[in-house]
Chain A
Amino acid sequence: DAGVIQSPRHEVTEMGQEVTLRCKPISGHDYLFWYRQTMMRGLELLIYFNNNVPIDDSGMPEDRFSAKMPNASFSTLKIQPSEPRDSAVYFCASSFVDFSNEQFFGPGTRLTVL
């Protein structure tokens, strides 16, 4: 297995533009997590899915952020409209079960909003 795949690896965009980050979890993993990492706030959980269903989205900062998981092999995190304070590294991770099990992280997407 290739591990968790994220795309793009780097994204530079201008304020106000829509940004879509993509994630392909490890096949067979039932849980998918989206995290954000900034220098100021460190790692934060944004949302996680179980069997494609969002379980906890309380970490999603505001309505500009949305996440979907249309099937077991694909998830998106969308920011519309983007703002400079959204600049961060966004990680996707997957696991067989919830946070009580080992998580496998993707390489991350470095987002810069100008």
Chain B
Amino acid sequence: KNEVEQSPQNLTAQEGEFITINCSYSVGISALHWLQQHPGGGIVSLFMLSSGKKKHGRLIATINIQEKHSSLHITASHPRDSAVYICAYMNRDDKIIFGKGTRLHILP
């Protein structure tokens, strides 16, 4: 069964804090995406991972294929990072499965 669990569902933190959002899945995958959905509704693709780690600015994404787990980290968080973060993967049957998202709120 294709499942994906994101944690936490909601996260409120102070500006400057280090943020970690987790994504666990239950089946073998070929690629995992991290998406950011802004309060206005727009969606931006942050990372696509098939192994290892990627970094872009203050954002870092990691994936452990054996443990079926990925994390998104935000260093020196800022109020403009407030958004919903969604992980999604394509399984080996080429089906795209989305997580429910983590709602992040960074307080100034």
The digit string for A74-114, where 1 denotes a CB below 8 A from any CB of B, is 00000000000000010101000011111111011010000
Q: Which B residues touch A101, using CB under 8 A? A: 48
Interface of B is mostly: strand
Interface of A is mostly: strand
**With contacts defined as CB atoms under 8 Å apart, how many contacts are there between chain A and chain B in the complex?**
46
- Number of interface residues, chain A, beta carbon within 8 A: 20
* Cβ contact of A104, chosen from B31, B45, B95, B99, cutoff 8 A: B45
- Number of interface residues, chain B, beta carbon within 8 A: 20
On whether A100 and B44 interact (CB within 8 A), knowing A42-B98, A42-B100, the answer reads: no
Mark A residues whose CB is within 8 Å of B. Answer: 42-45, 56, 58, 89, 91, 93, 98-105, 107-108, 110
12 extra interchain contacts, Cβ-Cβ under 8 A, other than A91-B43, A104-B45? A43-B86, A43-B88, A43-B98, A56-B94, A56-B95, A98-B94, A99-B90, A99-B96, A100-B30, A103-B33, A105-B43, A107-B42
